[in-house]
């Protein structure tokens, strides 16, 4: 959709809402959604959007927020911090009640000053850079931090007997990848391991995946760790295997989507990852969600789907409490306790941070399975 068509559509929606309000219909509660919906790695953005659409349909089918329907305003941040920040300004002008998103930490870091300036409660399903945690601000996080996840990876690699590891770092999301690598290195060193070197890629001086693959192999490590999205992790794995290397390949949790397997094929067989949900959960609540998702979108829900649905669950619970008590939304969210998510109870600490249960998996026969 072109910018002009999108603007016309927004104007039409606005006119419709005004018309309904004039007829006595309740005003909608606008919720902004922001994620990368274009380019490499957009699968995680669409998976998040899809789950949010389902959550909005559910809450509206059950009376909305105190009788007011929820209306989504969806924006593509193009995985660019400047664009993300400009959308926060736009959301403020549209009087959104809150924002869900973004997906990656670099965009979240760039958005944060505008989020706090406009005092818009923003719940990110997946932002995890440690530097964004423990802050008294308007950014709430559903995900565990890079420290939590990287430490889990380091312990697992130590238990597998790996002593030396080389790391690839996607500089397009440096806020996340550099934080993740720092936390992993600190923890792995504590277990007696050595990070023999890191290879940055996706920067202005480097194009493609051949050179970083060769640089990683030249470091002569026991295993190779990719801190990148699903698309780039698949491409790096392809280049590593193309050169005949048999090193174990590990990928950070950011890569753990179905696109990794679809793009990587045989090259990602045996790849080790951490996931923030149990894709084989047989509980009635999760199976109902997963089946409805697959029926509607012809795909399995991914980790961003589950985390975004949980983010929406917390937001709608907070909005309902705000409507009942009149307290600011930020305070209402901080007071929520043990709200049931798709797979775990949901809580925010005093800083609006949360944690996820995690599961180590390996790719076998084109599936994520327990190791």
Predicted local confidence at residue 311, as pLDDT: 98
- 140 plus 151 within the same structural domain: no
Find out whether 52 and 312 touch, Cβ atoms under 8 Å: yes
Residue 213 has pLDDT above 90, yes or no: yes
Find out whether 149 and 200 touch, Cβ atoms under 8 Å: no
Predicted local confidence at residue 6, as pLDDT: 42
Provide the CA 219 distance to its chain's centre, in angstroms: 30
- The answer to whether position 370 is within a domain reads no
Question: Which two structure tokens, joined as six digits, stand for 353?
Answer: 């941070």
- The answer to whether position 369 is within a domain reads no
Find out whether 206 and 148 touch, Cβ atoms under 8 Å: no
Predicted local confidence at residue 201, as pLDDT: 92
Where does the pLDDT of residue 206 fall: very low under 50, low under 70, confident under 90, or very high at 90 and above? low
Residue 7 has pLDDT above 50, yes or no: no
- 74 plus 7 within the same structural domain: yes
Predicted local confidence at residue 15, as pLDDT: 39
- 160 plus 202 within the same structural domain: yes
- 15 plus 110 within the same structural domain: yes
Residue 16 has pLDDT above 60, yes or no: no
Provide the CA 201 distance to its chain's centre, in angstroms: 21
- 34 plus 48 within the same structural domain: yes
Residue 155 has pLDDT above 70, yes or no: yes
- 173 plus 41 within the same structural domain: no
pLDDT tens-digit readout, 122-146: 999 999 999 999 999 999 999 999 9
- 13 plus 138 within the same structural domain: yes
Residue 337 has pLDDT above 60, yes or no: yes
Question: Which two structure tokens, joined as six digits, stand for 169?
Answer: 């770092």
Selected residue with higher pLDDT from 13 and 278 = 278
Residue 5 has pLDDT above 80, yes or no: no
User: In the predicted model, what is the mean pLDDT of residues 314-320?
Assistant: 98
What is the count of structural domains for the chain? 2
Find out whether 126 and 143 touch, Cβ atoms under 8 Å: yes
**Parallel, antiparallel or unpaired: strands 359-364 and 249-251:** unpaired
Domain boundary residue among 229, 247, 275? 275
- 253 plus 206 within the same structural domain: yes
- The answer to whether position 351 is within a domain reads no
- The domain that contains 189 carries what CATH number? 3.40.50.2300
- 17 plus 131 within the same structural domain: yes
Dihedrals phi, psi of 269, to nearest 5 degrees: -60, 130
Predicted local confidence at residue 187, as pLDDT: 98
pLDDT tens-digit readout, 78-125: 999 999 999 999 999 999 999 999 999 999 999 999 999 999 999 999
Residue closest to 370 by CA, chosen among 227, 161, 156: 156
User: In the predicted model, what is the mean pLDDT of residues 220-229?
Assistant: 97
User: What is the Cα–Cα distance from 225 to 246, expressed in whole angstroms?
Assistant: 13
- The answer to whether position 361 is within a domain reads no
Around Cβ 248, how many Cβ atoms within 10 Å?
Answer: 17
In DSSP notation, 291-346 reads: HHHHHHHSS---HHHHHHHHHHHHHHHHHHHHHHH---HHHHHHH---EE-SSSEE
Residue 211 has pLDDT above 90, yes or no: yes
User: In the predicted model, what is the mean pLDDT of residues 331-342?
Assistant: 97
Residue 56 has pLDDT above 50, yes or no: yes
Residue 160 has pLDDT above 70, yes or no: yes
Give the domain range for residue 212. Answer: 147-275
- 152 plus 138 within the same structural domain: no
Where does the pLDDT of residue 23 fall: very low under 50, low under 70, confident under 90, or very high at 90 and above? low
Residue 204 has pLDDT above 70, yes or no: no
Residue 62: exposure state from Cβ atoms within 10 A (0-12, 13-18, ≥19):
exposed
- The answer to whether position 365 is within a domain reads no
Domain boundary residue among 275, 299, 330? 275
Domain boundary residue among 275, 303, 325? 275
- The answer to whether position 297 is within a domain reads yes
Residue 12 has pLDDT above 70, yes or no: no
Selected residue with higher pLDDT from 15 and 239 = 239
- 20 plus 92 within the same structural domain: yes
- The answer to whether position 64 is within a domain reads yes
Residue 262 has pLDDT above 90, yes or no: yes
- SS3 state at 253: helix
pTM: 0.90
- 270 plus 291 within the same structural domain: no
Helices (H) and strands (E) in the chain, counts: 12, 14
Residue 292 CB partners (closer than 8 Å, separation 6+): 54
- The answer to whether position 246 is within a domain reads yes
Residue 9 has pLDDT above 60, yes or no: no
User: What is the Cα–Cα distance from 38 to 45, expressed in whole angstroms?
Assistant: 8
């Amino acid at each position: 959709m072109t910018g002009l068509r999108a603007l016309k559509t927004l104007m039409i929606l606005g006119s419709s809402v005004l018309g309904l309000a004039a007829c006595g219909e309740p005003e909608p509660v606008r919720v902004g959604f922001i994620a990368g919906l274009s380019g490499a790695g957009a699968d995680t953005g669409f998976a998040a959007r899809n789950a949010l659409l389902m959550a909005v349909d559910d809450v509206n089918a059950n009376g909305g927020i105190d009788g007011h329907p929820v209306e989504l305003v969806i924006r593509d941040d193009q995985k660019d911090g400047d664009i993300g920040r400009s959308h926060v300004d736009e959301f403020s002008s549209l009087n959104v009640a809150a924002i869900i998103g973004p997906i990656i930490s670099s965009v979240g870091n760039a958005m944060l000053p505008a989020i706090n300036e406009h005092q818009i409660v923003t719940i990110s399903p997946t932002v995890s850079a440690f530097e964004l945690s423990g802050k008294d601000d308007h950014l709430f996080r559903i995900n565990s931090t890079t420290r939590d996840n990287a430490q889990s990876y380091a312990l697992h690699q130590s238990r597998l007997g790996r002593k030396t590891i080389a790391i690839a770092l996607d500089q397009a999301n440096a806020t996340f990848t550099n934080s993740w690598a720092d936390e992993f290195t600190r923890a792995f060193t504590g277990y007696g391991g050595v990070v023999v070197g890191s290879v940055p890629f996706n920067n202005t001086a480097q194009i493609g995946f051949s050179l970083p693959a060769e640089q990683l192999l030249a470091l002569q490590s026991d295993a190779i760790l990719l801190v990148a999205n699903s698309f780039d992790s698949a491409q790096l794995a392809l280049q590593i295997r193309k050169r005949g290397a048999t090193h174990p390949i590990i990928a950070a949790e950011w890569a753990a989507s179905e696109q990794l397997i679809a793009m990587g094929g045989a090259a990602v067989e045996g790849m080790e990852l951490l996931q923030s949900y149990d894709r084989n959960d047989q509980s009635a609540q999760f199976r109902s969600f997963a089946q409805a998702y697959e029926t509607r979108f012809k795909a399995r829900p991914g980790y961003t789907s589950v985390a975004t649905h949980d983010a929406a669950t917390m937001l709608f619970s907070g909005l309902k409490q705000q409507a009942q008590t009149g307290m600011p939304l930020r305070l209402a969210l901080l007071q929520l306790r043990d709200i049931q998510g798709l797979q775990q109870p949901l809580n925010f600490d005093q800083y609006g941070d949360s944690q996820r249960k995690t599961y180590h998996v390996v790719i076998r026969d084109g599936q994520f399975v327990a190791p």
